[in-house]
């Protein structure tokens, strides 16, 4: 569908597709930050010394689009710390010293869901955010009038297999999630986008009324929301608009599985499975860990390092962020941690643009990537607006293909921020 | 444990500017071998002089103006070979060397170095040598010391298609062997160093105009510098459009200008002039063929 294949072809490195997730021992402590998206309006409900149990709320939903935060372990609140998120924002985080018992909070019970409103409220109370990586509150996404539910099973970042594992081990939960959303949000048709699904997944999905499976083409970033919508429905999300504006909700398979489990049991997302891989690890594997577990504990549970890692990524190699410390906690939306050795960690030195046009060919958003850098350097707002630099989805294809090894994604991000700042200044005039 | 923090993406394609230029050098080797077979060992000497002069002038200029050294990207090597391929085998070596200095210093470095020049260094240097007082030395063709004319000149009996393919006829040292140039061009296409758009549009336009004007098709396609120009010079990244649509427009433009010069111009050959003129139009073609962002038409 659409115009030619943009994007890039990447080696999958899906080394962990056949792994059974290792359930790690309960760590000594977990760290649960508030406000994933940087807008911290939640109020912390516990204080140092409080006893907490698994599934107990430790922060309320706050204002706006916020969601509550739940204890992922049982134990004692050791304190409230300040944590710097990878986007640079500073947030409060509740640190819990675990007791290893994983006592379940007595308030955990299945929510009563009877209609759309009670369903959305339940999803909000579940604390669920998009588990594919973006971490956007799921209830906000679902609060829309649409005619297409698109299920993202593409997992197009190399190494990542947490979504694959959900399709393999929890296909019943994923299917149940699809049925719940279809039923309560009122969506007639669901399209499930898959790449190399595990055995049985396709059959299970076909049993759902109004659902169809679409095999996705083999390119990155087919799993990016706008690409997936175009690929499955032919619809194009206009610049500055959301999927719901073209009648679509896109949701990740893992998110659906957790959603179904919450509606069934009332247990919020307290544990998740992540891929642990990269050239510096001993054994690539899947690990199931409580949310808030330090990355160092996860690597230790996975079998430790073969050599000292030079770079550690949360997420995939194309869009993942490099962590500054192994103390950083596992967050809800993290699907993988990759530890890279010195050789893989080193990025090549950038050279001059030779105007080869590879970035133009690779951009899935059809942007003239090389021009963004040039226009941003000149702080040329008019050109940035004309070439729609604001539509860059930061997928990394341009920088990946660049033979001069230019860091185009960073200049695109800076250009977008510059445009947003200028727009704000304009609005304040 | 100290961790390295760098921006995404954390993996990069293995292709580099250097690997691309190396591919171009490899693609030019068959034509170099052919030129030595056809014109003798002097073809190799001329090429060596051009390459050494190009690399040396890039090195010295960058040192002089304290710019980072870029000779390892091999683009100066490519320029040197391409310029040599546009020269007659009997060219005085100092003129060949001067051509390289003009290509690198005047056309490339004075405009900012790799990626910044508005015209193809080799093609421009050739044109400068032609219109300077070296015109005579630039257009006297010999094979084995015997003076011959380029097949495109008026009044010359055209060689057979086989001769054109094998290249044993008058011309610049790298342009005569069509077979070798095609091998090189196909190598560049397979390695995805170039896309088909420019060569196909360029050669196609020349073919269509030749047929329409009642010209000998094989002679027009294979007799001059067209293959060298279409595969190796018009496809220069820096001076050709970025989008595939732009490349088609540019290729057609090159073809039309080449045929206009060949049919109506004062010189028998027009490839370098045509490419040079289209180089100048490239920024405008880029502007006209800019991609529309996905979902970008709604503000």
DSSP track, A298-340: HHHHTT-BSS--SEEEES-TTT-EE-S-TTPBPPTT--EEEEE
As a whole-number percent, the residues of chain B with pLDDT over 70 amount to 97
Q: pTM for the complete prediction? A: 0.92
pLDDT at B247: 97
Give the closest of A320, A370, A388 to B10, CB-based: A320
Residue B70 counted as domain residue: yes
Task: Check if the beta carbon of residue A345 is closer than 8 Å to that of residue A308.
Answer: no
Task: Check if the beta carbon of residue A74 is closer than 8 Å to that of residue A99.
Answer: yes
Residue of A nearest to B15 (CA): A403
Give the closest of A238, A344, A351 to B295, CB-based: A238
Residue (of A131, A109, A111, A130) closest to A120 by Cα position: A111
Hunting for tokens 């196609």 — which residue is that?
B204
CA distance A350 to A398: 13
- The domain segmentation of chain A, as residue ranges, is 116-265, 358-428
Give just the sign of the alpha carbon dihedral A197, A203, A205, A206. Answer: positive
Predicted confidence (pLDDT) per residue in B196-216, tens digit:
999 999 999 999 999 999 999
Q: For A228-243, what is the HEC assignment?
A: HHHHHHCCCCCCCCCH
Task: Check if the beta carbon of residue A126 is closer than 8 Å to that of residue A160.
Answer: no
- A237 vs B contacts (CB less than 8 Å): 295
Mutation pick from B240, B246, B295 vs chain A, by most beta carbons of A within 10 Å, is B295
Is B58 exposed, middle or buried (CB count within 10 Å of its CB: 0-12, 13-18, 19+)?
buried
Contact A388 B296 (CB under 8 A): yes
Residue B135 counted as domain residue: yes
CA distance B272 to A145: 61
Backbone angles phi, psi at B65, to 5 degrees: -100, 10
Contact A239 B293 (CB under 8 A): yes
Predicted confidence (pLDDT) per residue in B49-100, tens digit:
999 999 999 999 999 999 999 999 999 999 999 999 999 999 999 999 999 9
Q: Domain count for chain B, please give it.
A: 1
- What tens-digit pLDDT sequence spans chain A (429 residues)? 334 568 999 999 999 999 999 999 999 999 999 866 656 678 899 999 999 999 999 998 888 888 999 999 999 999 999 998 888 888 899 999 999 999 999 999 999 999 999 999 999 999 999 998 888 899 999 999 999 999 999 999 999 999 999 999 999 999 999 999 999 999 999 999 999 899 889 999 999 989 999 999 989 999 999 999 999 999 999 988 999 999 999 999 999 999 999 999 999 999 999 999 999 999 999 999 999 999 999 999 999 999 999 999 999 999 999 999 999 999 999 999 999 999 999 999 999 999 999 999 999 999 988 889 999 999 999 999 999 999 999 999 999 999 999 999 999 999 999 999 999 998 887
Residue of A nearest to B118 (CA): A355
Alpha helices in B71-113 (DSSP H): 75-85, 93-101
Q: For residue B191, give both structure tokens.
A: 């390695």
Residue B294 counted as domain residue: no
Give the closest of A340, A351, A361 to B73, CB-based: A351
State whether residue A23 is helix, strand or coil: strand
pLDDT at B152: 78
Contact A364 B295 (CB under 8 A): no
Task: Measure in Å the smallest separation between the Cα of B248 and chain A Cα atoms.
Answer: 14
Is B133 exposed, middle or buried (CB count within 10 Å of its CB: 0-12, 13-18, 19+)?
exposed
- B293 vs A contacts (CB less than 8 Å): 239, 365-367, 387-388, 391
CA distance B230 to B223: 13
CATH code of the domain in which B273 resides: 1.10.3430
Task: Check if the beta carbon of residue B282 is closer than 8 Å to that of residue B250.
Answer: yes
Give the closest of A310, A354, A361 to B115, CB-based: A354
Contact A317 B115 (CB under 8 A): no
Distances in Å between the alpha carbon of A138 and those of A254, A369, B19, B70?
12, 31, 46, 51
Contact A368 B13 (CB under 8 A): no
Residue B201 belongs to what domain range?
Answer: 17-287
Residue of A nearest to B192 (CA): A358
**CATH code for residues A116-265:** 3.40.50.11540
State whether residue A364 is helix, strand or coil: coil
Task: Check if the beta carbon of residue A335 is closer than 8 Å to that of residue A277.
Answer: no
CA distance B177 to A393: 48
Contacts with A144 (C-beta within 8 Å, 6 or more apart), sequence order: A185, A244, A249
Task: Measure in Å the smallest separation between the Cα of A319 and chain B Cα atoms.
Answer: 6
Residue B12 counted as domain residue: no
Give the closest of A364, A391, A401 to B296, CB-based: A391
- A311 vs B contacts (CB less than 8 Å): 3-6, 10
Residue B169 counted as domain residue: yes
- B70 vs A contacts (CB less than 8 Å): 351-352
Mutation pick from A305, A386, A398, A403 vs chain B, by most beta carbons of B within 10 Å, is A403
Contact A356 B299 (CB under 8 A): no
Mutation pick from B293, B297, B298, B299 vs chain A, by most beta carbons of A within 10 Å, is B293
Contact A391 B10 (CB under 8 A): no
CA distance B8 to A408: 10
Mutation pick from A354, A410, A423 vs chain B, by most beta carbons of B within 10 Å, is A354
Residue (of A174, A208, A85, A66) closest to A125 by Cα position: A66
Residue B295 counted as domain residue: no
Contacts with A224 (C-beta within 8 Å, 6 or more apart), sequence order: A364, A393, A395
- β-strand partners of A248: A148
pLDDT band at B142 (very low <50, low <70, confident <90, very high): confident
Task: Check if the beta carbon of residue B126 is closer than 8 Å to that of residue B86.
Answer: yes
- Please list, residue by residue across A345-373, b when 16 or more beta carbons sit within 10 angstroms of its beta carbon and e when fewer do: bebeeebbbbbbbbbbbbbbbbbbbbbbb
Residue of B nearest to A6 (CA): B294
Helix (H) / strand (E) element for A138: namely helix A138-142
């Amino acid at each position: 569908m659409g115009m030619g294949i943009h994007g890039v072809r990447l080696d999958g490195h899906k080394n962990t597709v056949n792994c059974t997730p290792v359930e790690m021992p309960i760590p000594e402590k977990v760290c649960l930050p508030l406000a994933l998206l940087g807008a911290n309006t939640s109020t912390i409900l516990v204080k140092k010394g409080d006893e907490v149990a698994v599934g107990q709320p430790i922060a309320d939903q706050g204002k706006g689009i916020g969601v509550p935060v739940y204890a992922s372990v049982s134990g004692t609140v050791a304190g409230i710390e300040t944590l710097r998120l990878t986007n640079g924002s500073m947030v409060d985080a509740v640190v819990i010293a675990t007791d290893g018992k994983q006592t379940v909070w007595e308030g955990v019970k299945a929510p009563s869901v009877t209609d759309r409103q009670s369903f959305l409220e339940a999803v909000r109370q579940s604390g669920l955010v998009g588990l594919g990586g973006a971490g956007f509150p799921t209830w906000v996404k679902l609060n829309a009038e649409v005619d297409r539910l698109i299920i993202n099973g593409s997992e197009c970042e190399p190494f990542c297999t947490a979504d694959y594992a959900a399709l393999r081990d929890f296909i019943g939960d994923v299917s149940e999630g699809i049925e719940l959303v279809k039923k309560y949000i009122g969506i007639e048709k669901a399209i499930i986008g898959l790449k190399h699904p595990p055995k049985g997944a396709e059959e299970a999905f076909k049993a759902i009324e109004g659902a169809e499976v679409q095999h996705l083409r083999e390119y990155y970033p087919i799993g990016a929301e706008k690409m997936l919508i175009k690929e499955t429905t032919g619809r194009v999300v206009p610049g500055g608009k959301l999927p719901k504006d073209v009648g679509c909700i896109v949701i990740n398979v893992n998110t659906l599985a957790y959603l179904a489990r919450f509606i069934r049991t009332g247990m919020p997302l307290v544990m998740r499975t992540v891929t642990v891989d990269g050239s510096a690890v001993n054994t690539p594997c899947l690990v199931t860990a409580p949310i808030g577990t330090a990355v160092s504990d996860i690597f230790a549970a996975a079998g430790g390092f073969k050599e000292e890692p030079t770079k550690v990524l949360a997420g995939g190699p194309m869009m993942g962020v490099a962590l500054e410390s192994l103390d950083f906690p596992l967050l809800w939306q993290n699907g993988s941690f990759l530890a890279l050795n010195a050789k893989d960690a080193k990025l090549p030195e950038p050279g001059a643009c030779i105007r080869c046009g590879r970035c133009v060919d690779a951009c899935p958003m059809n942007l003239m990537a090389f021009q963004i850098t040039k226009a941003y350097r000149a702080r040329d707002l008019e050109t940035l607006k004309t070439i729609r630099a604001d539509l860059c989805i930061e997928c990394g294809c341009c920088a990946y293909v660049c033979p001069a090894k230019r860091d185009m994604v960073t200049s695109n991000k800076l250009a977008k921020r510059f445009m947003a700042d200028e727009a704000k200044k304009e609005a304040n005039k | 444990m100290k961790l390295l923090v760098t921006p995404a993406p954390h993996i990069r394609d293995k292709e580099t500017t250097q690997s691309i230029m190396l591919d171009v050098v490899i693609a030019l080797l068959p034509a170099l071998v052919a030129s030595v077979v056809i014109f003798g060992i002097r073809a190799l000497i001329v090429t060596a002089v051009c390459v050494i002069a190009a690399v040396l002038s890039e090195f010295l200029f960058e040192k002089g103006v304290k710019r980072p050294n870029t000779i390892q990207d091999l683009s100066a090597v490519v320029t040197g070979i391409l310029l040599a391929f546009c020269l007659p085998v009997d060219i005085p070596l100092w003129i060949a060397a001067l051509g390289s200095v003009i290509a690198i210093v005047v056309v490339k470095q004075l405009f900012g170095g790799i990626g910044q020049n508005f015209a193809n260094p080799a093609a421009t240097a050739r044109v400068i040598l032609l219109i300077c007082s070296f015109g005579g030395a630039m257009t006297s063709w010999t094979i084995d010391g015997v003076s011959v004319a380029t097949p495109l000149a008026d009044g010359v009996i055209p060689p057979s298609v086989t001769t054109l393919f094998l290249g044993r006829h008058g011309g610049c040292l790298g342009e005569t062997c069509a077979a070798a140039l095609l091998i090189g061009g196909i190598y560049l296409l397979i390695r995805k160093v170039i896309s088909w758009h420019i060569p196909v549009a360029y050669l196609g336009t020349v073919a269509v105009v030749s047929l329409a004007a009642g010209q000998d098709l094989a002679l027009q396609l294979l007799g001059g510098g067209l293959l060298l120009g279409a595969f190796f010079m018009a496809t220069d990244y820096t001076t050709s459009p970025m989008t595939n649509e732009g490349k088609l427009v540019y290729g057609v433009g090159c073809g039309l200008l080449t045929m206009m010069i060949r049919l109506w111009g004062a010189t028998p050959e027009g490839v370098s002039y045509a490419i040079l003129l289209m180089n100048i139009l490239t920024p405008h073609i880029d502007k006209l063929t800019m991609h529309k962002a996905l979902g970008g038409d709604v503000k």
